[in-house]
Amino acid sequence: MSIISALSLSRKPATAFVIIGLYWGVFSAYAPEIKARIGAGDALYGALLLGTSIGLVASMWFAPRLDRALGERGMQFAALALALAFLLPGLVQSPLPFLGAMIAVGIASGLTDVLMNARVSDLEVANARSLMNANHAMFSVAYAMAAIATGAAREAQLPPMVVFAAVGVIAIALAPALRMAGSTVSRAAGTQGAFPWRLVVPCGLIVLVAFMSEAAVEAWSALHVERTLSGRAAEGALGPAMLGLTMAIGRFSGQLVAERLRELQVIFWATFLSAAGALIAAVAPTPIVAYIGFGTLGLGISVIGPMGLALVGRVVPSNVRTLAIARVAIIGFAGFFVSHILMGGMSELFGLRWAFASVAVALMALFAIIAMLGRRGVT
């Protein structure tokens, strides 16, 4: 009942999480086909995916201002921007236009991300309860469903453009349900006192590693299954689908756990699970074992990102909450830079097994950041 009430309370931003989850689920499952169509090798494909990161980081800087300008229409505007931007990856057929398409996707995705997370954080403070995990779980459910459906679409040889357009119709149909004003305090233009960078930066680094790990599975799991483990297209699509399903389970469970434990405690134990999953995926001899690895990693990282965002929303002053979340998101989305460079470069040089092993190493670096926050009195 706690999960249902949390989703009922935050149903408007939860709808935005569903929309963005559908888009990324489709994109991840189509990744091998898109990569082949634009004629890119692993390193080049990883570099081109940096376009998403460029767009994401760019959007983080103007999102708070746009939030103030658009008011209650902000999430609606973001959903329409997504519907337009995600048509582009389904159309391009060469590397340079693909880079431009991913920049546009990154801008629309980043704007949506900041606004929906800020609205959830506003609701958390106003209602004195944890809501972030339940909302991020809706992203994961939508992501998994979209990836599974896209696997069937690929087997039926449907082109990416058709599926992206279908999701666009859904996004436009749901846009009226996204009308929601942010907190007057959190959207205030001014701030008082020094900006709390000593809290924002460590929380941002936590989100960075979580997003880096998630992006590694989203963009490269299908390729790992199909190329390293000789799986079919439908089997490859199950890689990102497994991530989405287990992240949904982890986040729904995290919603219950978050009401009993502090964010930093949950992040600590989730890091162990995530690193183990990355190692299992790295050494997997068959697609089934790889799915176990992706699923284990998904269970762990499912709560790390939302908890990092919830943590900063809780510990910073209310008048800088949206700005703080945007800054954490800027740092966090740098994880996509790291992920695409790391995975593309490692795969090109040593293969995808070593690439996923390097994700495990990066996850274990979180323990030092957790210890730092603990010494600063954060729990």
DSSP one-letter string for 281-350 = HHH-SSHHHHHHHHHHHHHHHHHHHHHHHHHHHHHS-GGGHHHHHHHHHHHHHHHHHHHHHHHHHHHHHH
Angle made by CA atoms 333, 295, 272, in degrees to the nearest 5: 70
d(CA 81, CA 171): 10
For 266-302, b/e burial (b = at least 16 CB within 10 A) is bbbebbebbbbbbbbbbebeebeebbbbbbbbbbbbb
Classify residue 132 by its DSSP letter: H
pLDDT at 192: 52
d(CA 239, CA 217): 8
d(CA 244, CA 284): 19
SS3 121: helix
Classify residue 225 by its DSSP letter: I
SS3 122: helix
Classify residue 175 by its DSSP letter: G
For the chain, which domains are there?
2-182+196-375 (1.20.1250.20)
CA nearest to 238, candidates 247, 226, 228: 226
Q: Which residue has the tokens 């279908």?
A: 166
d(CA 319, CA 301): 29
Question: Which parts of the chain register pLDDT below 50?
Answer: 1, 185-191
pLDDT at 183: 63
Q: Are the beta carbons of 206 and 304 closer than 8 angstroms?
A: yes
Helices (H), the chain: 2-9, 11-38, 42-48, 50-70, 74-85, 95-127, 132-155, 160-174, 197-223, 233-258, 263-283, 287-315, 321-350, 352-364, 366-375
What's the pTM value of the predicted model, to 2 decimals? 0.74
CA nearest to 114, candidates 357, 361, 327, 278: 327
pLDDT at 219: 78
Chain centroid to Cα 227, Å, comes to 24
Measured CA distances, 216 to 9, 209, 344 (Å): 32, 11, 10
pLDDT at 160: 92
Measured CA distances, 32 to 24, 226, 231, 325 (Å): 14, 8, 12, 33
Q: Is 194 exposed, middle or buried (0-12, 13-18, 19+ CB in 10 A)?
A: exposed
d(CA 146, CA 278): 23
Residues in the chain: 379
pLDDT at 379: 66
d(CA 248, CA 15): 15
